[in-house]
Amino acid sequence: MQTKTWMKLGLAAALVAAPSLGLAQEAAAEAPDAGAVSEQTVFILNSLLFLIGGFLVFFMAAGFAMLEAGLVRSKNVAMQLTKNVALFGLASIFYYLIGYNLMYPLGTWSIDGILSGVWGPGVLEAVGVAPADADDLAYAATGSDFFFQLMFCAATASIVSGTLAERIKLWPFLVFTIILTAVIYPLQASWKWGGGFLDEAGFLDFAGSTVVHSVGGWAALTGAIILGPRIGRYVDGRVVPFPGSNLTLATLGTFILWLGWFGFNGGSQLAMGSVGDVADVSRIFSNTNTAAAGGAIAALILTQILYKKPDLTMVLNGALAGLVSITAEPLTPSLGAATIIGMIGGVLVVLAVPMLDKLKIDDVVGAIPVHLICGIWGTIAVVFTNADASLGAQLYGIIVVGIFVVVSSAVVWFILKAIMGLRVSEEDEIMGLDMAELGMEAYPEFAKG
């Protein structure tokens, strides 16, 4: 009797539960991927990537400052440090006032694909913004994006600083920095990263081998030609060595730049809200590192072969050359391909430095070979690992950006030369800019440096 009763109760429970089980199975079939994250979480993770990447790239400012301070002569160290602090401050202000909206018109063009229709200061989200009121919940906080992009802009100006060291006046250089960071850099960057005509043409530049590095290189090359070499650098057909003040500082600066480049390239993934994005960021970190290693080792070996001894400054620039070379496409190469791309960059630097000297183009820190020549190489190298790239589109982007930056920079340099003068006097250059421009007393042991 009890057994029958329990059987009846079990049957009744099954009949009651059956519709619920059916509904549960239907709900499970319609449920989203259990591994997916919410839109708010994507927003938070993407913003975090930009902020972490941004302060890593910010630390590159210290790297540039240490590298340049180590490679200039002692009587010019304080001036070089002053320029690096000042250029970063000016870039921060003028990228906010003009550059950010000029670079990202968000589809609002005054000349379609060429010139932004948005002129004016950048604007952040409101304090404590609600999810529904965020500018783009599927992307990231505007503040994080502005902060990240600003660091790239400032890095471009730092490239110019090192090339023109030891003979350019402070204030003309800073005026040029304002125009570079407010107009020249943002305008050409809008053509690719702002959805302009280079982007529509299929030009690919993941993190800025052309958009950032070659722009700084072209501006530096133009300035170096107009400014001329340092006094005594080229005498009777030979190159007179000007040893830097402190190779320890230069080496430290290189390692800081190497570290900062993980933010530079890794942050340019622009997303960290999925397994695929995080895996890609990790892949970018690994490729960035091995390209730098390849560039350093290639420069080490080649200087041993050519000069019968290694050259530390070449090795340092070889590492930077590898980093610039991989910046246009740090995602798609294998580790082996990334290493080779970096090694070719290291070789190019070793060959390009004496070539510039033969042309009597005086580049104090080797920024033109590193950032311009390897920026061009890295942009071309994209076609070897990314099936979406075409050589024609890559060359088109290189040429367009090169012509624009050379012409616009030359106009600005010549105007500044006419109005303010670019170069310090011969007496001031021999004395050193720390004393001549900053009024600092030279240390006796450095006076002959």
Give the per-residue pLDDT at 43.
Answer: 95
Say how far residue 388 (Cα) sits from the centre of its chain.
22
d(CA 352, CA 362): 12
117 contacts 26 by C-beta, under 8 angstroms: no
Q: Between the CA of residue 69 and those of 73, 221, 239, what are the distances in Å?
A: 8, 20, 21
273 pLDDT higher than 90: yes
177 pLDDT higher than 90: yes
- Percent with pLDDT over 70 in the chain: 90
Sign, Cα dihedral of 384, 386, 388, 394: negative
Instruction: Please give the model's pTM, rounded to 2 decimal places.
Output: 0.90
Give the per-residue pLDDT at 260.
Answer: 98
Confidence of residue 35 (pLDDT cuts 50, 70, 90): low
pLDDT in tens, 237-254: 899 999 999 999 999 999
Sign, Cα dihedral of 229, 233, 238, 241: negative
Confidence of residue 33 (pLDDT cuts 50, 70, 90): low
Helix-strand-coil split of the chain, %, nearest 5:
70, 0, 25
Residues in CB range of 214: below 8 A, 6 or more apart: 371, 372, 375, 376, 379, 398, 401, 402, 405
Task: Quickly count: other Cβ atoms within 10 Å of residue 115's Cβ.
Answer: 15
Q: Kindly report the average pLDDT of the chain as a whole number.
A: 92
d(CA 388, CA 382): 9
**Computed over its alpha carbons, how large is the radius of gyration of the chain?**
27
333 pLDDT higher than 50: yes
Give the per-residue pLDDT at 107.
Answer: 86
Give the per-residue pLDDT at 135.
Answer: 87
4 pLDDT higher than 70: no
d(CA 214, CA 45): 31
Segments of 191-278 assigned E as strands: 234-235, 238-239
Largest CA distance in the chain: 120
Tell me which fold the domain 39-119+132-230+242-446 belongs to. Ammonium transporter fold (1.10.3430)
The stretch 194-210 carries a mean pLDDT of 98
Alpha helix stretches (DSSP H) within 363-432 = 367, 374-385, 391-419, 426-431
Q: Could you identify the residue written with the tokens 């003309």?
A: 172
Confidence of residue 364 (pLDDT cuts 50, 70, 90): very high
d(CA 147, CA 205): 20
Give the per-residue pLDDT at 442.
Answer: 53
Which residue, among 367, 305, 359, has the nearest Cα to 158 in the 3D structure? 367
Sign, Cα dihedral of 40, 44, 45, 47: positive
d(CA 42, CA 38): 6
d(CA 395, CA 198): 11
d(CA 233, CA 240): 5
Least confident range of 5-19, 123-137, 198-212, 214-228: 5-19
Any idea what the Cα angle at residue 396 is, between residues 391 and 399, rounded to 5°? 125
Break the chain into its structural domains and give their ranges. 39-119+132-230+242-446
Q: Between the CA of residue 327 and those of 152, 207, 314, 319, 375, what are the distances in Å?
A: 12, 5, 20, 13, 8
pLDDT in tens, 110-162: 999 999 988 899 999 999 999 988 988 989 999 999 999 999 999 999 999 99
d(CA 292, CA 295): 5
Say how far residue 190 (Cα) sits from the centre of its chain.
15
Give the per-residue pLDDT at 9.
Answer: 41
Residues in CB range of 283: below 8 A, 6 or more apart: 331
